[in-house]
Chains A and B, each alone.
Chain A
Amino acid sequence: MFEYLLASLVEVLRPAYLLPLSIGTLAGMIGGALPGVTITMTIILVLPFTFGFDPLQGLAAMTGVYVGGSAGGLVTASLLGIPGTPSAIATTFDGFPMARKGQPGRAVWLGTWASAIGGLLGAVFLIGATGPLAAFALRFGPWEYFSLFVFALSMVAGLTEASLLKGLLSGALGLVVTVIGSDPIMAVPRLTLGTEFLRSGFQFLPVLIGIFAFAQIMTDLEKMAGGAAPPRVEAPNLAVSHLAVIREILGRPFLLLWSTLIGVWIGVLPAIGGSAANVMAYDQAKKFSKHPERFGTGTPEGIIASESSNNANVGGSLVTIMAFGIPGDAVTAVMLGAMIIHGIQPGPLFISQEPRVAYGIFAAYLLAHPVMLVLQWLGARFYLKIVQVPKSVLIPVVLVLCTVGAYALNNIMENVYVLLIFGVVGYLLVKFRFPLAPLILGVILGDQIEVNLVRALMTDANPWLFLTRPLSGGMLALSVGSVVLALWQHRRQHRRGAAQAGEPDTDF
């Protein structure tokens, strides 16, 4: 394993890979700093540029976006009090008060170094756990795969903040999208209404780009007043003693490790991203603190907890995609799509069949952190200026890149029409307060659920095998358990009168 990792590190250090990785990290940091542009949106915009690359170059660029984006949000969160991405929300709580107390450099660099250390600890988990988990998944037959995917879907539906029923329905609607077109076993056209357009079904990436890009942009437009000018920003002096900052972080080993573990765990859970990780880690840090009253006033613990967890979350998300082929969040969902475009199928066989790419991703993830530190050092003040780009300029450019991204998949206009259709669908779902995460997971897993269900029943027509095979039965029991637990939590929330009236978070 270490020989592979070392060889991959050497390979990714070559300019052919280091350059896409660095550009990806820079794009991630800029996208992360821009309020209203999530990491998902940034990776969608970077995606079409990677089509001409070899798979590892493309995935290195995307890994860079992921790591850079998780760190980029903290600059605007700390200095302006505006989280650039949902994964930096909790950083705002203490980063901004610290900056306002006259310590902007300390706030930014505490977050940056905590991101780097948390991310590297996440990498240890990624590198150590992916192989054994993939080896474990190799024991799965179609019954276990079917049950695993059902478990993933039910868990995501249960974890969404909107109603459980809507979460489940959203996941089911995602599955419905995948049954249109040729069936995956015998290639018989289904529900095509006799049109050529629907015969090959909907490609996953235009669906995802449409849903996320439009849901995000249109929700922003609702809040935008015509011709509103962006805020004028003065970049403060961010000079700081880096050794003192690192000592400040490492002097809180329990906080660092616990926040990292929370980040990794949230990342491993399918379809929940850094937006949940940072808030949960912040909340835990406050609960464990001897001085919880200091949280929200500029305490370093709050920044360390939030930033170490959201970057560790990246490592956890990469584990599930590489070991099971299930995306940990929207960003890895796009990466999964990119892998499939390059002819790579993520899952248990990925690491043994594509060791160069798999270890290349590990190496890219490890190297993205020092690259991120250098880019933060060079450009933190510049990222702050980026918030001055008006939305009226940004939105048309983003929509053009989404269009090109969908079109360039196969050089056909049909993908652009799919983008538009699902853009409308995504926006309507947001307006009807449907969570998007289960829908996307349904679109991704739909074919696999059907293939494994049919394969299992063709191998042995006894449907009870789904329950009597220990692993399969266990996972189905966990599915039921997660739904029951979610039901209980929703009821408890309702009793406390905490039913949400606002719009759901469009971050996957």
Chain B
Amino acid sequence: MISRDGVAGLVCLAGSLGLLVLTRGMPTPALVPIGPAFYPRILFVVTAVLSLALVVTDLARRRRPAVPPARYRLVVLTFAIFTAYVAALPWLGYRVATLLFVAGLQVALEAPRVRWRRSALVALATTLVTYYAFEVYLTVLLPRGRLTGF
């Protein structure tokens, strides 16, 4: 039976071998003895060997480390909302997307005891303070929305 270590080792092994194959297409320079593929090849061989060792060690282990229980609902939810935020930034612009993200994530994390007024105020304050601090004071041009125009 393979544990998390073994799975990680197999994923890293597959990745290393895949990348090693990709180095075959790299050009060989005519003027210098060492090309761009030289170092990556050494590295991928090292990574593959270490990954393989991790798999073998895992298979040879008699006692498996206990996996502590964890609740993933909020983790998955937060990743999903953050991904939506990142995707929305170029379309809605920084101000609209940030306002929705901060309010939405607070609601998701507080449910079912949502404090609506506080969530709205925090979202508004975060958006305005960061917008003025970065765009006005630090002259960082924050993303503009293709749909909203600002």
A contact residues vs B (CB 8 Å cutoff):
48-49, 51-52, 163, 165-166, 168-169, 172-173, 175-176, 179, 183, 185-186, 188, 190-191, 217-218, 221-224, 226-227, 390-393, 395-397, 399-401, 403-404, 407-408, 411, 413, 416-417, 419-420, 423-424, 427, 431-434, 450, 453-454, 457-458, 461, 499-503
B128 shortest CB reach to chain A, Å: 12
- Tell me the complex Cα distance, A375–B103, Å: 32
- The answer to whether A392 and B43 touch across the interface, beta carbons within 8 angstroms, is no
Which A residues lie within 8 Å of B54 (CB)? Answer: 165-166, 169
Closest 8 CB pairs of A and B: A227-B113, A392-B109, A183-B36, A52-B138, A188-B36, A396-B105, A222-B70, A396-B102
- The answer to whether B89 and A413 touch across the interface, beta carbons within 8 angstroms, is yes
Offer 28 A-B interface pairs, CB within 8 angstroms, sorted by A.
A49-B138, A165-B53, A165-B57, A166-B5, A179-B40, A179-B43, A183-B36, A185-B34, A186-B29, A218-B79, A221-B74, A221-B78, A221-B109, A226-B74, A227-B112, A393-B106, A396-B106, A399-B105, A400-B130, A403-B86, A408-B140, A411-B141, A416-B89, A420-B82, A423-B79, A424-B79, A431-B4, A461-B33
- The answer to whether A221 and B36 touch across the interface, beta carbons within 8 angstroms, is no
Of the residues B12, B26, B72, contact of A188 by C-beta under 8 Å: B26
- The answer to whether A400 and B110 touch across the interface, beta carbons within 8 angstroms, is no
- Tell me the complex Cα distance, A451–B46, Å: 18
Choose among B8, B57, B74, B137 the residue with the greatest number of A CB atoms under 10 Å from its CB.
Answer: B74
- The answer to whether B140 and A51 touch across the interface, beta carbons within 8 angstroms, is yes
- The answer to whether B130 and A401 touch across the interface, beta carbons within 8 angstroms, is yes
Q: Which residue of B lies closest to A175 (CB)?
A: B43
Chain B stretch 1-47: residues in CB contact (< 8 A) with chain A? 4-5, 7-9, 12, 16, 19, 22-23, 26-27, 29, 32-40, 43-44, 46-47
Number of contact residues on B: which range applies?
A: 35 or more
Tell me the number of A-to-B contacts counted with CB atoms below 8 Å: 183
B127 shortest CB reach to chain A, Å: 8
Which A residues lie within 8 Å of B89 (CB)? Answer: 403, 413, 416
A166 shortest CB reach to chain B, Å: 7
Chain B interface, DSSP helix/strand/loop, else mixed: helix
B contact residues vs A (CB 8 Å cutoff):
4-5, 7-9, 12, 16, 19, 22-23, 26-27, 29, 32-40, 43-44, 46-47, 50-51, 53-54, 57, 63, 65-68, 70-72, 74-75, 78-79, 82-83, 85-86, 89-90, 98, 101-102, 105-106, 109-114, 118, 122-123, 126, 130, 133-134, 137-143
- Tell me the complex Cα distance, A408–B135, Å: 10
Which B residues lie within 8 Å of A424 (CB)? Answer: 79
Q: Which residue of A lies closest to B140 (CB)?
A: A408
- Tell me the complex Cα distance, A218–B74, Å: 8
Which A residues lie within 8 Å of B12 (CB)? Answer: 169, 173
Which B residues lie within 8 Å of A222 (CB)? Answer: 70-72, 74-75
Q: When A179-B39, A186-B29, A407-B142 are in contact, do A434 and B8 touch as well, CB less than 8 Å?
A: yes
Having A191-B23, A227-B113, A457-B34, one finds 5 other A-B pairs with CB under 8 Å, namely: A188-B26, A218-B75, A400-B98, A424-B79, A432-B5
Of the residues A163, A188, A404, A461, contact of B130 by C-beta under 8 Å: A404
- Tell me the complex Cα distance, A117–B106, Å: 41
Which A residues lie within 8 Å of B83 (CB)? Answer: 420
- The answer to whether B50 and A172 touch across the interface, beta carbons within 8 angstroms, is yes
Q: Which residue of B lies closest to A229 (CB)?
A: B113
- The answer to whether B133 and A450 touch across the interface, beta carbons within 8 angstroms, is no
- Tell me the complex Cα distance, A174–B12, Å: 12
Which B residues lie within 8 Å of A393 (CB)? Answer: 106, 118, 122
A9 shortest CB reach to chain B, Å: 27
Which A residues lie within 8 Å of B9 (CB)? Answer: 169
- The answer to whether A454 and B38 touch across the interface, beta carbons within 8 angstroms, is yes
- The answer to whether A503 and B68 touch across the interface, beta carbons within 8 angstroms, is yes
Q: When A172-B47, A397-B102 are in contact, do A191 and B40 touch as well, CB less than 8 Å?
A: yes
B132 shortest CB reach to chain A, Å: 12
- Tell me the complex Cα distance, A131–B47, Å: 37
Q: When A169-B51, A407-B143 are in contact, do A226 and B34 touch as well, CB less than 8 Å?
A: no
- The answer to whether B110 and A226 touch across the interface, beta carbons within 8 angstroms, is yes
Q: When A52-B139, A400-B102 are in contact, do A432 and B8 touch as well, CB less than 8 Å?
A: yes
Which B residues lie within 8 Å of A179 (CB)? Answer: 39-40, 43
- The answer to whether B75 and A458 touch across the interface, beta carbons within 8 angstroms, is no
- Tell me the complex Cα distance, A500–B63, Å: 12
Q: When A168-B50, A172-B43, A501-B65 are in contact, do A404 and B90 touch as well, CB less than 8 Å?
A: no
Which A residues lie within 8 Å of B47 (CB)? Answer: 169, 172-173, 176
Which B residues lie within 8 Å of A395 (CB)? Answer: 78, 105, 109
Q: Which residue of A lies closest to B16 (CB)?
A: A176
Q: Which residue of A lies closest to B77 (CB)?
A: A221
- The answer to whether B134 and A48 touch across the interface, beta carbons within 8 angstroms, is yes
- Tell me the complex Cα distance, A97–B23, Å: 59
Q: When A176-B47, A397-B102 are in contact, do A391 and B109 touch as well, CB less than 8 Å?
A: yes
Which B residues lie within 8 Å of A404 (CB)? Answer: 130, 134, 140, 142
- The answer to whether B50 and A169 touch across the interface, beta carbons within 8 angstroms, is yes
Q: Which residue of A lies closest to B90 (CB)?
A: A413
Q: Which residue of B lies closest to A446 (CB)?
A: B43
Of the residues A163, A392, A420, A503, contact of B106 by C-beta under 8 Å: A392
Choose among A391, A403, A408, A454 the residue with the greatest number of B CB atoms under 10 Å from its CB.
Answer: A403
